[in-house]
Amino acid sequence: MFRIGPWTIPAPVVLAPMAGVTDRPFRILARRLGAGLAASEMITSDTRLWNSRKTRQRMNHDGEPEPRVVQLAGADPEALAEAARRNVDLGAQIIDINMGCPAKKVCNSLCGSALLQDEPLVARILAAVVTAVQGAVPVTLKTRTGWNRDRRNGVRIAQIAEESGIAAIAVHGRTRADFYEGEAEYDTIRDIKAAVGIPVLANGDIDSADKARRVMAHTGADGAMIGRAAHGAPWIFREVNGFLTTGALPPPLSRSEQRDIVLLHLESIYAFHGEDSGLRIARKHLGWYSGLLDDAQDARARFMAAGSTSAQFACAAERLDEWVCRAVFPPDETRIPPGNLQVQGNAG
Residues near ligand FMN (CB under 6 A) are 16-21, 41-42, 71, 98, 100-101, 142, 172, 203-206, 226-229
Smallest distance, Å, CB 231 to ligand FMN? 8
Nearer to ligand FMN, 213 or 228 (CB): 228
Smallest distance, Å, CB 73 to ligand FMN? 7
Strand partners, 11: none
Nearer to ligand FMN, 17 or 138 (CB): 17
Cα–Cα dist 38/123, whole Å:
25
Nearest to 211 by CA among 170, 178, 244: 244
Smallest distance, Å, CB 205 to ligand FMN? 5
User: CA separation (Å) from 159 to 132, 170, 249?
Assistant: 20, 13, 36
Cite the active site residues.
101
Distance of alpha carbon 17 from the chain centroid:
5
Q: What is the dihedral of CA 71, 75, 77, 80, to 10 degrees?
A: -30
Cα–Cα dist 118/101, whole Å:
15
Task: Identify whether the C-beta of residue 266 lies closer than 8 Å to the C-beta of residue 235.
Answer: no
Smallest distance, Å, CB 19 to ligand FMN? 4
Q: Which residue is nearest to ligand FMN (CB)?
A: 227
Task: Identify whether the C-beta of residue 139 lies closer than 8 Å to the C-beta of residue 170.
Answer: no
Nearer to ligand FMN, 230 or 320 (CB): 230
Nearer to ligand FMN, 124 or 228 (CB): 228
Strand partners, 7: 4
